[in-house]
Structure 1
Amino acid sequence: MDVKPGNFLLDEDSNLVLIDWEQNGAPVTTAAPEIGGTWDVEEIPSEGQNTTLRYTKYTGPERRNMPMTTQGNHGWNVWNVFLEWGEQCPKALELAETLSGFEDITCTERVVEGWESSEDIPEHWRRMVEDCLHHDPNKRIGLRELVAFWDSERQEMNERGS
């Protein structure tokens, strides 16, 4: 998905509704490492209701699910995992999408990798952002938890009048 303010609308109850799920590409600067078109994934059951994702490097013949006219030279321009994972492994799709939160950064020198000079950002907000950016998809927070977190924060701010 493409999580940024311009991709949300308000519904009749003033709830934010995400309207751009970015299902046919990814910004190269923030694409999750596993979406390059060279990985397959399967969901492996583990304790309780949790599952783990197992990624394996694809070694078969070249595959294509995008039109020959698709521009770009990134793996997803040939083999778009969003199309496959949306049906076969939605959890992998969700975790790949929670990583892509910095799409509008066009100059990588502006990317802040640490939290210096950000004392005004609450620590639990910082942890939430970091939970979206784990290199290992199995360690990333899911979309439901992310939305629940920000809904809770918004509600607390409304109650405080912030």
Structure 2
Amino acid sequence: MSAELKNVTLAANEMAREIERLKIERDELAVAAKRASVCLQQFIDDNVDPGTEALAAQYEVNRLLAKLEVNGAVVEESEYLSRFSVTPAEVHRFLAASLAEDVHLRYQQAVGNRAVEEAAKDIRMESHSPLAGEKFTNGMVFAADHIDPLKGGGHYPSELIRFGEAGGAR
């Protein structure tokens, strides 16, 4: 193969990869726009008078989305969550929709237990400061042992945390 033909082939391969990358980015943007459209529609449905700006924005987003022919399978919701910054409430909604409630609780407990173990370790380390008296040190170690899952403490959280709901974490 001549050098000129190799260069043309390489350029064609690079162009094909770039086209594929742009298609994936377009699909990601379309999926994000669809999610924004759903949120905007929920806002419109939940408000007695959502305002003409919200109605106009929803119309425009829907009009533009109708023009796009996209492969929605390219970007699943889990990929969307891993690619963009999301709130704990969005992660919670995804997990709640994807997992059985007891499995979701065990997942939260695995994360919570690890955080409590780390906090208990820090309490034990602080209890040995030169300024702490013996009673204070013993009290801190007792408290750390009491909450530490590795030392027989409870599982944290004890109940499923429902983000965004009344009484839950935000």
Greater fraction helix:
2
TM range (shorter): under 0.3
Give the TM-score normalised by structure 2. Answer: 0.23
Mark the structure with the bigger radius of gyration. 2
Query: Taking CA–CA contacts closer than 8 Å with sequence separation of 6 or more, which of the two structures ends up with the larger relative contact order?
Result: 1
